[in-house]
Structure 1
Amino acid sequence: MRTFGRRGAVRCSVLGAVVAGVLMPVATAEVSVATAEISVGSCAPAVAVTAIPTGVPVLDWSENMGYDAQGNLWVSRLYRNEVQRYDATGRVTATVPVELPGAVRLGPDGLLYVVYGDAPSSAVRPGGVLRFDPAAANPEPEVFVSGFTMPNGAAFDPSGDLYVATMSGVVRVRPDASIDTAWGAQAAVPAANGIAVHQDMLYVTTNGGPLGRIIRIPIAAPAERGTVAQLSARLPGLPDFADDLLADPAGILYVTTITGQLVRVDPVAGEVCTVLDDQPMTAVTAVPGRQEELLASTVAGAILRIHLSN
């Protein structure tokens, strides 16, 4: 999520409007599609409670999160320049220094991969991806790949390739850390933000004219990308800012937005609805072993536990 002066002018203006009370949470999501008509569906509301409370507002901004193989939760604290490990009781058990951290993803090798340099300053001081052993007593991060401008979201595909959402597009990184430039040239998606994988598809949120767009990219044929949905805010003429997203095992997408929405998108059935109106959320992740529970990170810094209704 890119915000404030050093985080990007677009999100800065949207977030400023939220803080000022200009933008209100949307009741439904308006969408446009490339190949089919998407309808606004009705879905049961979710219930959110605080799993980890806010510490110092904004300073403890929680940008993203992910679980390791031991079931510990790792949270990116953007402005503290670190990722924090939490145990099942919500206690911090470790911190790892990461400059302006973004997505946290468990790799197929059991290491944690953390995006760094999620800021406009990465145009001068490029960002990339770090990795470390989350089970180590004192995890030591090492650079896996670098040279990205405003990297944010990340996701692994079933083959072990890593996809990173950056300001200049989606980057495909092979397991040996080499960049698949040919694939990236075909998957030209400017201002990519969040990214998720389901089977042979990538789903990417973008906010580069217009805001709030969700793009579907076939992994084997990236040039055949298309728009799945276009999210908008309640007030006329004000688009929503789509941040990170999750694809569940059935391929249903859950998208967080700057107006505080958790939006459910079914790309196959063509249905979109908002399941939760809450505070501005930055990312969402599944809780291992709990099919109906998600966690959401927030601008204020709290981590929300969300129970989905069937």
Structure 2
Amino acid sequence: MSRPLRPGALLWPALIALACTAPVAAADPVAAAPPIASCAPALAATAVPAGMPMLDWSENVGYDVAGNLWVSRVYRNVVQRYDRSGALTATVPVDFPGAVRSGLDGLLYVVYGDTPTSLLSPGGVVRFDPTAADPKPEVFVSGVRTMPNGAAFDADGNLYLGASLSGVIRVRPDGTIDTAWTDQAPKGSANGVVVRDRVLYVTTNGGPLGRIQRIPIDAPGDVSVVADVASPLPGIPDFTDDLLIDSAGILYVTTVFGQLVRIDPATGAACAVLSGEPLTSVVATPGQPDQLIAGTESGAVLRIQLSR
């Protein structure tokens, strides 16, 4: 059965070609990750039902400081707020929204320009008060080309953006781009980004597909490979999208083949704890470490219960 194209799908043929032919700078190739020990399957249920196919695509998900869930509807050019009961309580206009992240200041930061047209009309990040009855976005950083999508804050308030052809970009707390840091970071296809203990973990799909990289914040040129994610089809890599890291330091990665993959960064060991429809994004439910929320290409938002 065919499925709608994601915002980056126009780049898919080029990414496949890169996966087959292009070298990866500053990172040695590794074999597909071995199975991880004690990897029980997760259970998924619908938290927010799917709406209109493709139009309601849920590109990213995130929580604000009040515990409201925010969903990026990339083809509707809005982010939506849902309360704890699942009721829609606000809709905020954002052009082709990507990652939705809560800042240290309590404001909500949303990537915009997650579309191939950002080559001509650059994207960036907007921010707004997520508790307002009618939130008004303001531009925090602009001029980011090549499909900015993933985002994560470090403990100092720096924001790291993953862009499809530009790699990882660091934005200072004042909204200016740290070009010295960014120039040292790996270039190429970056997507999801998370931070833990002065280390970035980034999903990349430019050579090969399905790679997870480790980037030390204090030495961004010293990139290493955590794992390469395989699809359910023998010998075929998957396309990794978003990711999170839990309190134990374990990564959970979403893929276009519909996998939620659990990865131990210390060993690269991995396994799929969930398989189904294509997953676009994932975030932990506040106060419930064994429960995740995931976006999908269908537009549904899933509640995922992990098994330990």
* TM-score, with length taken from structure 1: 0.89
Q: Aligned in 2, Cα 1:5/1:37: closer, same or farther, shift over 3 Å?
A: closer
Instruction: Give the alignment partner of residue 121 of structure 2, picking from 116, 120, 125.
Output: 125
Q: Choose from 52, 74, 79 the match for 2:75.
A: 79
Deviation at 1:13, TM superposition (A): 9.4
Q: 2: CA distance between counterparts of 1:35 and 1:58? A: 35
What is the one-letter code of the residue matched to 2:5? F
Alignment partners' CA distance in 2, 1:40 and 1:248: 19
User: Are the equivalent residues in 2 in contact too, given 1:76–1:82 (CA < 8 A)?
Assistant: yes
1:182 aligns to 2:180 (yes or no): yes
Matches within 5 A, 1:130-141: 130-141=126-137
User: 1:224 aligned to 2:219?
Assistant: no
Structure 2: how far apart are the matches of 1:270 and 1:98? 36
1:259 is the counterpart of 2:257:
yes
TM superposition score normalised by structure 2: 0.90
- Give the letter for the 2:69 counterpart: L
> Residues 238 and 9 from structure 1, CA distance in 2 versus in 1: closer, same or farther, beyond 3 angstroms?
farther
Equivalent residue for 2:99?
A: 103
Confirm or deny: 8 A CA contact 1:4 1:12 kept in the other structure: no
Contact in 2 for aligned 1:287/1:293 (Cα 8 Å): yes
Partner of 1:160: 157
2:10 alignment partner AA: A
Distance 2:236 2:253 in 1: 18
RMSD across aligned positions (CA): 2.0
Please state how far the C-alpha of 1:40 moved relative to its aligned partner: 1.7
Structure 2 CA distance for partners of 1:237 and 1:44, relative to 1, 3 Å: closer
Provide the C-alpha distance between the structure 1 equivalents of 2:11 and 2:138, rounded to a whole number of angstroms: 31
Deviations 1:17-39 (A, max 9, x none): xxxxxxxxxxxxxxx97699953
Alignment of 1:27-42 (within 5 A): 38-42=33-37
**Number of equivalent positions:** 291
> In the alignment, residue 279 of structure 2 is paired with which amino acid?
M
Give the drift of 1:156.
0.1
In 2, Cα distance between equivalents of 1:210 and 1:295 = 27
| Aligned residue number for residue 60 of structure 1 | 56
Classify the secondary structure of the residue corresponding to 2:221.
helix
Q: Which moved more, 1:211-220 or 1:3-12?
A: 3-12
User: Unaligned regions of 5+ residues in structure 2, if any?
Assistant: 16-26
Structure 1 equivalent of residue 138 of structure 2: 142
Distance in 1, Cα, partners of 2:79 & 2:43: 27
Q: Secondary structure at the match of 1:80?
A: coil
Residue identity matched to 1:155: A
Task: Give the drift of 1:4.
Answer: 3.1
Query: 1:121 aligns to what SS in structure 2?
Result: helix
Letter in 2 for 1:39: P
Q: What is the distance in 1 between the residues matched to 2:31 and 2:218?
A: 21
> Which whole-Å CA distance do the structure 2 matches of 1:121 and 1:178 have between them?
23
Unpaired segments ≥5 residues, structure 1: 15-31
Structure-2 residue corresponding to 1:27: none
CA contact (8 A) 2:40 2:307 kept: yes
